[in-house]
Structure 1
Amino acid sequence: MALPQNAIKTITLEGVVKNNATHEFVPVVLHRMTAPLNLVPSCYDPRPDQSPPWVKTLLESVPERPPSRLPPPGTSQLHGHLARFRGDGRAGIVFELDNVQLDGATADPVSVPRLVVKIARPNRLASLAREAWFYDEMECLQGSAIARCYGWFEMQLSPGQTVPAWKAHPTEDPHWHDYVLEVDETYGTIHPDQLARSARRDVLSVLLLEQLGPTMPLGPLPESARTDITSLYEDISHLGISAAEDVRWHNILQAPQYEPCLPSLPSPFTNRVHSWRKINFELPVKTNLTPWQLSLSYKAHLRTMFEEAEDEGTEDPWP
């Protein structure tokens, strides 16, 4: 059976944290975190919808989170070693894990896919917590339109401990505050946990994710691939989630093709089995816009992305 996304209670990582005195890596244990349901405020538009019913743009309320279909949380411990660098962005740095071992699993054998860890930058703890919330919100799309997420884990660094990845893959704004707080403040109240998190620089925070394939290639893309990628965003729109402002080619990865990997699941909304996945969810907003209205916005941004990716060829159109 497939490893449930909530089966792991702790992860022990090697090759991530160094002791400054000995200059040696030390194994560290991170514990599963749970994002409060109210961590991310909803963007509720109270305006009366004057459109005809067939082009209705607003729902009466923000869609509720679909019920979880996962079993009760497990107590397994995962051990892994930091391996190949996969990429980085605003909020995090992604590495493959190797030498993965799972202890305390159920009596039945479980299938564990290849895994990656997304390590939050020291000034982006609130961003990673926000992304963890959206993975919980979109549990029904994990393995279909988005990657499977096996949890959000944290630990407080001891004095004299450092994370070399932070220095090896620096951000352009190491002293800036976490700007996702501005997003939440626009639509509601910033959660106090997020305010506290934005002031910390001594926490190692990671997401444990299913390893995906390479990014969407630049250059001409077959119409079938364009249709499939567009459908990813249509799936997300069914949950009332707006992520149009973050449509980028490097946020779209191929579904896993390696062995062993878990099979792609059909979309709960369209029954389509996708060949692609959407990643990076620090900036989306939960809204009461209808799927129809959200899809319109997505399609406009995707059309621009496809055109610019084709025009630029092998050059990154979003440096």
Structure 2
Amino acid sequence: MALPQNAIKTVTLEGVVENTATRQFDPAVLHRMSAPLDLVPSCYDPRPNQSPSWVKTLLESVPERPPSRLPPPGTSQLHGHLATFLGDGRSGIVFALDNVQLDGATPDPRSVPRLVVKIARPNRLAALAREAWFYDEMECLQGSTIARCYGWFEMQLSLDQTVPAWKAHPAEDTTEEDYALENDKIYGTVHPDQLARTARRDVISVLLLEQLGPRMPLGPLPDSAKNDITSLYEDISHLGIAVAEDVRWQNILQAPQYEPCLPSLPSPFTNRVHSWRKIDFELAVKTNLTPWQLSTSYESHLDSMFEDAEEEGAEDP
């Protein structure tokens, strides 16, 4: 039986937090966080003020979050060691975990997949909290369209603790501007918890996620793959979520490739079993646009993404 995504209460990570006084790594004990329902404001376009043609693209209200199908939160404790560096981006750094134990025992790989941690950069705590909110919002797509997410966890650092990964894998964009929160300011009031996070630099914050396969390859893709990837965005559109600002080939990964792995689930909207997954929801927006309008808005972005990947593949020696 697969481990429920809310079964883990605490995560102890080895090799993540360094004690600057002893030059040794301290075990980092991170506790599950819960994103408030109102953490992310919705982009609601009022129907009465719009032209008749545009009104057809709008729902009466922003779609409600589908009811959770998870059992009551569990109390399990997970222990793991930071392993291979897998990649990084604007707001996070991703590592595989090894030597994973659940409640003191090696878990059955048929119930717990290989796991990765996405570590927030010190100035991107709000962005990771926002992404955690979207994983909760898209619980029904976990394991089919997006990765399974086993929680958002945090620990406050002491004055003599630091996270070496922050220095080892610096961001290309070192500005303090948080683009996701700038969007939230446009759509509504930024949640006070998020405002507090923008000033914090003494917290390690991580998402615990199912490990996926490699990135979408560079070069030409068969139409079947393009159609499957396009269908990922159609699934997300059914929840009123727009991710057009971050349509990039780097954010498309293959479904898990290792054995054994948890099975891919059928899409709750199309019943399709995808060979791909969409990642990175830092810039996602919750809207009252119809699924048709959202899917249509992705067409040009997806065409550009496939063209970029093909061109980069042609340039790759």
- 1:179 corresponding residue in structure 2: 179
- Unaligned ranges ≥5, structure 1: none
Partner of 1:40: 40
In the alignment, residue 133 of structure 1 is paired with which amino acid?
A: W
Deviation at 1:269, TM superposition (A): 0.1
Query: Within 5 A, what are the aligned runs for 1:166-205?
Result: 166-174=166-174, 176-205=176-205
Q: Describe how 1:7-22 pairs up with structure 2 within 5 A.
A: 7-22=7-22
CA-CA distance at 1:177 after TM superposition: 3.7
Instruction: Say if 1:51 and 1:57, in contact at 8 Å, map to a contact too.
Output: no
**1:304 maps to 2:304:** yes
* Aligned partners of 1:13 and 1:82 also within 8 Å: yes
Aligned pair count?
313
Q: 1:308 deviation in Å?
A: 1.9
Deviation at 1:27, TM superposition (A): 0.6
Aligned CA distance change for structure 1 residues 177 and 245 (closer, same or farther; 3 Å): closer
TM-score by length of 1: 0.95
Query: Is 2:179–2:283's contact at 8 Å kept on the other side of the alignment?
Result: no
Cross-structure match for 2:24: 24
In structure 2, do the counterparts of structure 1 residues 2 and 227 end up closer, same or farther at CA, with 3 Å as the change threshold?
same
SS of alignment partner, residue 47 of structure 2: coil
Q: Is the 8 A contact 1:7 1:74 kept in 2?
A: yes
Please say if residues 8 and 32 of structure 1, whose CA atoms lie closer than 8 Å, have aligned partners that are also in contact: yes
Q: 1:103-137: CA deviations, max 9, x gaps?
A: 189xx997110000000000000000000000000
Q: How far is 1:309 from its partner?
A: 1.3
Q: CA deviation at 1:172?
A: 3.2
Quote the RMSD (CA, aligned, Å).
1.8
The code of the aligned residue for 1:40 comes to: V
Percent same amino acid at aligned positions? 83
Instruction: Give runs of aligned pairs for residues 82-161 of structure 1, distance below 5 A.
Output: 82-103=82-103, 111-161=111-161
Which residue does 2:224 correspond to in 1? 224
Does structure 2 conserve the Cα–Cα contact (< 8 Å) formed by 1:123 and 1:174? no
**TM-aligned CA deviation for residue 164 of structure 1:** 0.3
Deviates more, 1:120-129 or 1:177-186: 177-186
Distance 1:182 1:52 in 2: 29
Instruction: State how far apart, in whole Å, the 1-side matches of 2:185 and 2:109 are.
Output: 45
What's 2:79 paired with?
79
Deviation string 1:77-119 (CA, Å, 9 cap, x unpaired) is: 00000000000000100000000000189xx997110000000
- The residue number in structure 2 matching 1:270 is 270
Structure 2: gaps spanning 5 or more residues: none
Counterparts of 2:315 and 2:199 in 1: how far apart (Å)? 37
Give how far 1:305 is off: 0.8
Summarize the Cα distance change of 1:199–1:315 in structure 2 as closer, same or farther, 3 Å threshold. farther
Question: Once the two structures are superposed, what CA deviation does each residue of 1:13-63 show, in whole Å capped at 9, x if it has no partner?
Answer: 00000011111111110000000000000000003354469x920000000
Question: Matches of 1:144 and 1:174 in 2, distance apart?
Answer: 34
1:207-222 aligned at under 5 Å gives the runs 207-222=207-222
* SS at structure 2 position matched to 1:208: strand
Q: Please give the alpha-carbon distance, in whole angstroms, between the structure 1 residues aligned to 2:205 and 2:110.
A: 26
Question: Counterpart of 2:298 in structure 1: which amino acid?
Answer: Y
SS in 2 for 1:269: coil
Partner of 1:250: 250
Which piece of structure 1 moves more, 61-70 or 301-310? 301-310
The amino acid of 1:299's aligned partner reads: E
Shift of 1:311: 2.0
| Cα distance between partner residues in 1 of 2:314 and 2:176 | 31
Say whether residues 1:279 and 2:279 are aligned partners. yes
CA shift, 1:312, in A, is 2.4
Confirm or deny: 8 A CA contact 2:90 2:173 kept in the other structure: no
Secondary structure of the residue that 1:231 maps to in structure 2? helix
Amino acid at match of 1:115: L
Instruction: Give the Cα–Cα distance (whole angstroms) in 2 for the partners of residues 101 and 225 of structure 1.
Output: 36
Give the equivalent residue in structure 2 for 1:56.
Answer: 56
Q: Which residue of 2 aligns with 1:4?
A: 4
Q: Distance in 1 between matches of 2:98 and 2:164?
A: 18
Question: CA separation in 2, counterparts of 1:204 and 1:291?
Answer: 36
Q: Structure 1 residues 300 and 109, CA, compared in 2 at 3 Å: closer, same or farther?
A: closer
In the TM superposition, residue 298 of structure 1 has moved relative to its aligned partner by 1.0
Letter of the 1:262 partner, please give it.
L
1:309 and 1:156 map into 2 onto residues whose CA distance is: 40
Distance in 2, matches of 1:179 and 1:111, equals: 37
The residue identity in structure 2 corresponding to 1:29 is V
TM-score by length of 2: 0.95
Distance 1:198 1:177 in 2: 9
Matched-pair contact (CA < 8 Å) for 1:218–1:315: no
1:225 Cα offset (Å): 0.2
* In 1: Cα distance, 2:150 partner to 2:94 partner: 15
